[in-house]
Chain A
Amino acid sequence: MRASTNQGPGRVLVAIYGVFAVSATARSAVQLAADFERAPVAYSLSALAALVYVLATFALARGSGAARQVAWAAVGIELVGVLAVGTLSILDPALFPDETVWSGYGAGYGYVPLVLPVVGLGWLWHTRSRGGGTAGSAGASHRPEGTSPPSHDG
């Protein structure tokens, strides 16, 4: 039995991902429409961040089967992205004449972009497949179960 990623605390996680999906997509759209040449690196990374947040939101909200693997990938890329962009934006600010969600490890968003992927990975780990496990709320117990592929952690 596996717990769904969209129940209990997962509800709130999906909601926060949704907010970031919308804001990152909107920011990226405005940047790409305005003047891509001004900051190609920053704007490309903004678009990547938007894609990752949208994928993570839908995958975590779906929460079963293949969606779980998409969620692992999206949240993993998100963590790598925020760490890499955060470090780069401090080492070489010239690369980033304009902000991305991940600049300065997400300082412009109260460091939520840094905390979110860590919590996301922890949540995916917590709700992972385990034989006869009891993870998840009672409300999730009547949810129809799909086939359970072997765990793919790490």
Chain B
Amino acid sequence: MIPAVAYAFMLVAAVGALWSAVLFARDRRLNDALVWTLAALEVGLLLQLVAGSVALVLTERDVDGPLFIGYLLTAVLVLPAGVAWAASEKTRWGVGVLFVACITVAALADRLLQVWQV
């Protein structure tokens, strides 16, 4: 895991969380631009799953394998689940779900980095 990549994930996730918070404050629902941004983040997370799995095989670090793979997989699942759960809500609370999803992705990116840097 490259720290800069993890920080990039955290930054984009933080932007998503802030964006969701602004939409919530303005009593709006989720919009296409936000969903596309999260889709781009999801593509990054999928690439991370592949790259991270390969890196785990190749590394000589003493990384906790099951834990690391668990975080990689969870990170991939959070946004699709969050968007699906948010999209079927007709009030402002839909973007509240996206806020939670984005914070979760940022927390997972942080944990992944910790687990890798044991």
Contact = CB atoms under 8 A, between A and B. Distances in A.
A12 B17 CA distance: 13
Main secondary structure of the interface of B (DSSP, over half): helix
Given A26-B70, A26-B74, A139 B90 contact: yes
Interface size class of A (residues with CB under 8 A): 10 to 19
Nearest to B101: A15
B81 interface: yes
Interface size class of B (residues with CB under 8 A): 20 to 34
A11 B94 contact: yes
Main secondary structure of the interface of A (DSSP, over half): helix
Given A19-B100, A22-B74, A26-B74, A11 B89 contact: yes
Interface string A11-23: 1101110110011
B67 interface: yes
Contacts of A139: 89-91
Nearest to A26: B70
A9 B96 contact: yes
Interface string B77-118: 110011001100111011011011100100000000000000
13 contacts: A7-B89, A8-B91, A11-B89, A11-B97, A12-B93, A12-B99, A12-B100, A15-B85, A16-B100, A18-B85, A22-B74, A137-B91, A139-B91
